[in-house]
Structure formats: C-alpha cells, structure tokens
Amino acid sequence: MTETLTERSQKILEAIIEEYIATAQPVGSKALARNHDIKLSPASVRNVMAELEELGYLASPHTSAGRIPTEKGYRFYVDTLLQVNDLNSRQKDQIELQYQQHGLQMADMLREASRTLSSVSHYTGLVMVPRLKVTIFRHIEFVRLSPRQILAVFVTQSGLVQNKLVEIDEELTPRDLEQITNYLNHTMTGLSIQEVRARIVAEMANEKALYDHLLRRTFALSTAALVDETTGDIIIEGTSYFLEQPEFSNLKCMKRIVQTFEQKNILIDLLDRGLDTEGVQVIIGSETKYSELADCSLITAAYSGKRGTLGTLGVIGPNRMPYSTIIPIVDYTATLISRLLDTDND
Amino acid sequence: MTETLTERSQKILEAIIEEYIATAQPVGSKALARNHDIKLSPASVRNVMAELEELGYLASPHTSAGRIPTEKGYRFYVDTLLQVNDLNSRQKDQIELQYQQHGLQMADMLREASRTLSSVSHYTGLVMVPRLKVTIFRHIEFVRLSPRQILAVFVTQSGLVQNKLVEIDEELTPRDLEQITNYLNHTMTGLSIQEVRARIVAEMANEKALYDHLLRRTFALSTAALVDETTGDIIIEGTSYFLEQPEFSNLKCMKRIVQTFEQKNILIDLLDRGLDTEGVQVIIGSETKYSELADCSLITAAYSGKRGTLGTLGVIGPNRMPYSTIIPIVDYTATLISRLLDTDND
DNA sequence: TTTGGCACTCAACACAAAGGAGTGCTAAAG
DNA sequence: CTTTAGCACTCCTTTGTGTTGAGTGCCAAA
C-alpha cells in the first residue's frame, strides 16, 4: 500500500515488535521511549504509533492499552527490518550434538531433528518425511504374505525403509518374485523413484517387452508397489510448548490448534509449500489460509539429499515468535540434515 | 481397612461417584436424594456421607461444597460396585467399521485402533506396538548400505516391518549376505524371535558349527539384527481430548501431562504392566506410581496374535472417567484386534 | 433410626470504587 | 515545521464489600 515509511517509523516499529515479542504485552509509548535507545519523547513516539496504526502495521486492543503488531506489521518486520544473526558456535554445537549418535537411520535422524528443533527453539518442531517419489531406489524386496498379498519392502539410498501392501490379481510363485526382485535390484539401483517409474513406462511402451511374461508381471507389481502415497508423513515434536504461550491460554483456541496438529494434513500442506523454495520461508497467521492457524506462524526450510530437495522442516508457534533467533536455527538444521544425508551411507 | 460397608452406604457411594463422573461437580446431599432414587432424606444421606468420608472413600474440597470421590473411592467402585454392560451392536459396529478398509497392514491397524479408541471413548487412545521378541519371524533381508553397515529388514508374520542398522566388524560380500539370508529364511520362518534367538544360541553351542565360517557370521549378524530394542513404541491419539477435561483446565498441570505423553516412556511402562494380565486392567491415579499422572487413570487390555500376547492397548483420561462405558470399549477393541491379527495373513 | 430444623461456613458472584497505564489533543518551546 | 510538556479522558484491572446460595453438622423431635 503505502510505500513511505521513514527510517524513524521503521525503527520504532521494530522496537515495538521486538518489545512485544519479548513481553507478550501491548507496548506503550513511555516504556518504549525509555528502554529502546530512542531519542524521542513519549509524545513523539505516540505520533508515530498513531501513524503506524493508520497504515495497518499496529493495532490497539483498546484505547488505554499499548499497541500490538498486526500481521502486516510482522510481515514488514520479517521482510525488511529483521536481520538474522548467525548462530554462535555454542548454539551450533548444541544442535549438532544431537546427531552424534552412532549410525542413526534416516527415520531416527528426522525424528531427532524435529525434537532438536523443538527443544532449541522452545516451540513445536515439524519435519516432513521425504515423499516416496523423491527418494532414490536402493533395494526392493517382496515378501509373500498370502497368495494374493505381497508386501513390498523398499529401501532408499539413505536407509529409509518404506513398505506397502500390494494386492495382486494373479498369483506369483516365490520363484517369480525372486526373479522380479533381482531384475529390479539390478536395473533400478541409483535412480530416483520418478525415474524408476519413467523407466518402467518406457519399457512397457516398448512392445516387445509385453511378450515377456516376467517383465509384464514385474511392471505390474512394481507399479503397484511404487505408487505414490497421496499423503506424506510428518513428525511433530514439542506440542506442549504451545501450552506455555500466553496467547493460547484460552482453552478453546488451544484445543483447536492441538486438534489441527493431530490431523496432520494441514501441517503437511503448509510444509509442502516450502518444498520448492530456497532458504527459509516464513508464513504468518492468515497467510496459512487456515482459520485454525490464524494466530500461528511457521518458519520452514527445505532439506535435500544427494539428488535435490527431499522435504521440509521447521517450527510452528504463535505469530509473536522471536524470528531473529528461530530463523537461523531452522536454517542451520536444514543445512545440517542435508549435509548428513549427503555424506551418510555414500 | 474397614471391611464393613453396608449395602446402603455402597449404594450411596455408587450414586455419588456416578453423579460426579457425569457432572464433574462436587455432589451434595440434596441433589443426590432427589435424583438417584434413594429413599432417604438429605439428612440421612449426609450421615452416610460423613461416614464414607471418615473411611476415606470421599473427600470434601471445602466445608460448604459437596463430596468428591477419592482414589480409594474409585478403586472400590471399580472393584466391587461397577457392573460393565456389554456394548450394544451399534457400538460394536461403530468400532468394527474402522477396520473394514482393504488390506491394512499391522502398523496401520494399530494406529487405527488407537484412533478409534480415542474417538469412541472421547479420551486419549494408547496402543503399544508389539515388542520384537514376541513377534513371529517371517522373513529377513539384509541390505548393504556400506561395507560395514548392514540394514536388516525384518518382516513379522503379521506384516509388521521392523528394521535395524547393524554395524559389523568384518566385511561381508553380497554373496555372503545372500547365503545368510537364505539360511535364516529357510530355517527360522514361523518361530518367535525368542525361539530364533534360542535356536541360534543352541547352534552356536554346538561346537562343530563354529568351524563353519558362514554359520558363524550368520549368528553374529542375526544376533545383532534381532537384539531387542530396549524401549518399545507407543501410538498415542487424541491428546486434545484432555483439553476438554475441566479438572485439567489449569494450564500448569495440563502441560505436565502433555509433556509426559510426549516423552512416551512413562506410558510405555504403564502399558507394559498390563502385558501379563488377563482382561481389562484399571490403574487409578497414584497407582501409576508417577506423580505426573496422579490425576489420571488408565484402562488397558492386552491383545494377542496367534502365539500369545503381543501388546497392550487402552485409554487414558482423568480419574473421573465413565468406567462403565470405557471398559467394554477397551475390552472389545482388544478382542477385535486379536481376532484380526489371528485371521489376517494366515 | 430417621428426619426436619437451624445455625454456620465458605466459594462464587456481582457491583462499585480506586488505581493506573496509555492515549489523543493542544499549545508552547525549539 | 517539529518536538515536547501538559492535561483531560478512556477503559482495563485490581481491590474491596456485600450478598447469595449450596452444602454441612448437629440437635431434637418423630
């Protein structure tokens, strides 16, 4: 809207937001003029505040309270005022320490990431488990549970194990299965699942292949086994930190948020949005597009393995979050996880 | 302590507890005499109440409030007063319906069980995932992640997939692995993991076997792969129901409980206690031995597969729970899960 | 043994007054 | 023209004070 915000206004807006983040109390002109090395009288501060409110960056709960930031205020703060410091080495160590455990498998590592995000930030940690299609084929195994039921156990390059129950139309003998397994493990290793599927389609298009009974079955089975899960999985840790936030002391609204977490799908959608984004992304309040999370903000970043983005991770908390400290935490964690996934099991 | 409780006292105690369960309000003599077809005047009821309080079954928050049950009161109620009705067929259908989905794997089924327990009872559902040692060996597969790292993927009879990263001392070639896999899959299928381990120990004791290089490696690897996890896993669903309970409206205590849930280990311990117990078990308040859960009660039951008990499931809520409706829900769910695990994938 | 009556207790609720943090406006000072 | 001190005003919050009413314990009568 209005592109004019004097440097002084910006400085005051920043001070108000930081004060509010620290105290969770509406910020008044007097306290502000006193604490934040602002060389102005409370009266002048008031003038600026009124102006900022007019422009929509601030709001006042009632006449005789101070001001609180609006979403627009937070957005401006995050976009232009905020300068994120790097973590100091002590903080980096604190995060890194959690992954020193011997031979963590990917699943454990992701859970640990969520836990660490939560405990370091004191908000709720979120980690999206990589979708099947972006993982890299390493090994597949079929176990016959019954004549028509095959359990496909699929190991990705990074040691993530996914399994899926496949119902088949025609019976397969153990011998058939063994051949199929061998074929897939020899031809597909190292390809991404997307590539594997493309390859299968390509081979099937090759008419000759269709005459090969084994190949046809292989395609049928592996297509079924590698079909994409519609919904990803997400690891949520530290929900209890939400209970500490004064803005959610209202049980009614607290419950709505916890329920939203339990359903997971909304969070999955929000994390998905960060998949194609470079660096850290901040989603504030109604930008989530979900009314349940109107008072929540997310800070997310994508992590990647050897071959591109795998998933996203982040932190969710109230709008009033200390962005300057959380952003580098999320950023560093994403980088760290990416590095670990890259070097591990090479 | 005192074994004498007249029939009249018992009847009044029962009425008080049921009234309190329904309303969450201290129960007074007048309301009680009115509603619960008790043919006594409020004054007489008061006399009995005073007596029950003396004996420790009731407590009064303050002089001019009614009475609330103590733990001892609940315990007596559950042990001798309570008569649980069977579920009617509508309720059974409501539970059963959740499992009609095509080809659920065991893990999905257990999650569904937890979810259903929660949604039907309106409290928090708990399901303990079977410990490795009680599951039945169906198939094992080793995937080499690096020369010294082997991923052991292990499929149980019921389709549960567990995997474990094993670090080995001496390198194994793919050919070695294949032989080991074949050996294990041919000799061990159908045995419980406990039996598999016993078998391995027995074979190793047989001195001749030690000269067989392959066998020795097999034992080393499979011992490592099948080593018991120290801590089981638990599926918790419906934490948000806790936020509805008026007794936990105090955020401080609410947070302590949610944190306890997040750590999981306490709940695992509590569910473990029900492993060797037949039928439904009720743990009330301080009987949990955990101060964090002093105001919570658990209702648990063990479920089993073809070959004995696999794990436990149940519901956790405030002491003030409608035991008469929850107990049959837990009971029926345990029976149902056991039946499904028995018939499925045979 | 049961019950009605009665004095007593005490949380909960409502209402009023005091207190205080903060605002907007105006007029004087820089 | 900008900044600031002063001041009246707003309105939430806190505190205090009755008042209400549900519930109790006890006693004496049925």
Q: Is A283 within a domain? A: yes
Last residue of a domain, one of A225, A247, A262: A225
The residue type found at A217 is: R
Residue A27 domain flag = yes
The three-state secondary structure class of A20 is helix
Residue B278 corresponds to which tokens in the numbers above?
Answer: 């037949």
- The answer to the question of residue B1 being in a domain is no
Could you report the per-residue pLDDT of A38-51, keeping only the tens digit for each? 788 889 999 999 99
Q: Which residues of chain B lie closer than 8 angstroms to A135, CB-CB?
A: none
Q: Do A179 and A243 belong together in one domain? A: no
Same domain, B213 and B275: no
Boundary (domain end) residue, out of B225, B255, B274: B225
Q: What is the CATH number of the domain that holds B120?
A: 3.30.450.40
Whether the CB-CB separation of A224 and B232 falls below 8 Å is answered with no
Q: Is residue A2 part of a domain?
A: no
CATH code of the domain in which B26 resides: 1.10.10.10
* Together in a domain, A50 and A13: yes
Same domain for A160 and A212: yes
What is the identity of the amino acid at A156? T
Q: Are residues A99 and A147 in the same domain?
A: no
Q: Which of residues 139-158 of B touch strand D (CB under 7 A)?
A: none
Q: What is the pLDDT of residues A218-232, one digit of tens each?
A: 778 888 888 767 678
**pLDDT, position A103:** 59
The predicted-structure confidence for A105-148, as pLDDT tens digits, reads as follows 788 889 999 999 999 999 999 999 998 888 888 888 888 877 78
- CB atoms under 10 Å from CB of A187, counted, come to 15
Q: Are B198 and B336 in the same domain?
A: no
Indicate whether A310 belongs to any domain: yes
Say whether both A201 and A58 belong to one domain.
Answer: no
CATH of the domain at B144: 3.30.390.60
Show the domain range for A158: 133-225
Q: Does B164 lie in the same domain as B253?
A: no
Please give the C-alpha separations between residue A337 and each of A103, A111, B313, in angstroms, as whole numbers: 14, 11, 35
- C-beta separation of A58 from A67 below 8 A: yes
Domain check: are B99 and B243 in the same one?
Answer: yes
User: Are B96 and B209 found together in one domain?
Assistant: no
- Å between A57 CA and nearest CA of chain B: 31
pLDDT, tens digit, for every residue of B115-169? 999 999 999 999 999 988 888 888 888 888 777 888 888 888 877 888 888 888 8
Among A42, A62, A81, the domain boundary falls at: A81
Q: How many domains does chain A have?
A: 3
Both tokens assigned to A235:
């690891």
User: Residue B18 carries which side chain, given as an amino acid letter?
Assistant: E
CA atoms within 13 A on the CB side of B314: 26
Cβ neighbors of B47 (< 8 A, separation 6 or more) are none
Q: State the best of B139, B248, B254 to mutate against chain A, taking most chain A CBs within 10 Å.
A: B139
Residues of chain B that touch chain A, judged by Cβ-Cβ distance less than 8 Å: 102-105, 138-139, 141, 143, 145-146, 149, 151, 153, 155, 159, 161, 163, 165, 167, 237-240, 243-244, 249, 251, 254-255, 258-259, 262, 345-346
Residues B243, B126: one domain?
A: yes
DSSP state letters, A313-345: EEEEEESS--HHHHHHHHHHHHHHHHHHHHHTT
| Residue B165 domain-assigned (yes or no) | yes
Judge contact between B261 and B236, C-beta under 8 A: yes
Looking at the DSSP bridge assignments, the partners of residue B58 are: B69
List b or e across B138-154, with b for residues whose CB sees 16 or more CB atoms inside 10 angstroms: bbbbbbbbeeebbbbbb
Question: In this structure, is the dihedral angle defined by the CA atoms of residues B20, B25, B30 and B34, taken in order, positive or negative?
Answer: negative
Report the alpha-carbon distance of residue B271 to residue B235 in Å, rounded. 11
Minimum mean pLDDT range among A63-67, A265-269, B214-218: B214-218
CA angle B112, B114, B119 (to 5 degrees): 90
- A1 lies in some domain: no
A137 and A126 within one domain? no
